[in-house]
Amino acid sequence: MERTVRIGERGAYASAVAGLWQRLGTALARLERIAESPADQIAYEAQEELPSLQYALHAGAELALGIQPPIGAEPVHADLVAALSQARDATAEVASALAETDDDLVERLLPEWRGALFRVRLARLRALERYPLELGAPEPSEEPEEASDETSLPVAAIAAATLIVVGAIVFTAGAVLAAWPLWAAGLALFAGGFILFRP
């Protein structure tokens, strides 16, 4: 029973992070596109857009603070919250430099801003990698089946390798002896090995 509760907590956490990303993903993608541009182009194209995108980061950080991570995920979640806050602050610094029309300062802030935006994506990936979104909780009776799938994998690989080697030998013998039925059987065995096992 305890294991089911933990799986549910992890699934709820992953769902909450995915929901956060749905709200934040468009704004972050737009910020990354803006950050890729040269400083002088940012001043003309995105100066008015940055405050609303900065607010999206602020709202995302507030939402992330409200998400309760499962036991053991606190450091990963804290990294996500810190990354959102850092990206928000870096965006505010760039917006402030643009408002002051200081292109040199914007140029100096660009690498830090790009790094802060990248850190948000990295923190999200770490959070979801450690606690992936699960479609359904596995039942205890399903666990032995997973183990049997793992043991059947090497058997399928060995069978496929055997078919390929035998098929190559039969194909070569058919080609040397000029016997097309033997040649075709070797080719069929060779192809069967690739069909049997697909990594």
Name the residue ranges covered by the structural domains of the chain.
2-130, 146-196
Average pLDDT of adjacent 10-residue blocks, the chain of 199 residues? 41 79 86 85 80 88 85 84 91 88 86 91 80 46 48 74 88 86 85 74
39 to 33, 56, 58, 117: CA distances (angstroms): 12, 22, 23, 16
CATH architecture classification, 2-130: Up-down Bundle (1.20)
User: Cα(182)–Cα(187) distance, rounded to whole angstroms?
Assistant: 9
For residue 187, give the amino acid letter: L
The token duo for 145 is 């089946």
For the full predicted model, state whether its pTM sits above 0.75.
no
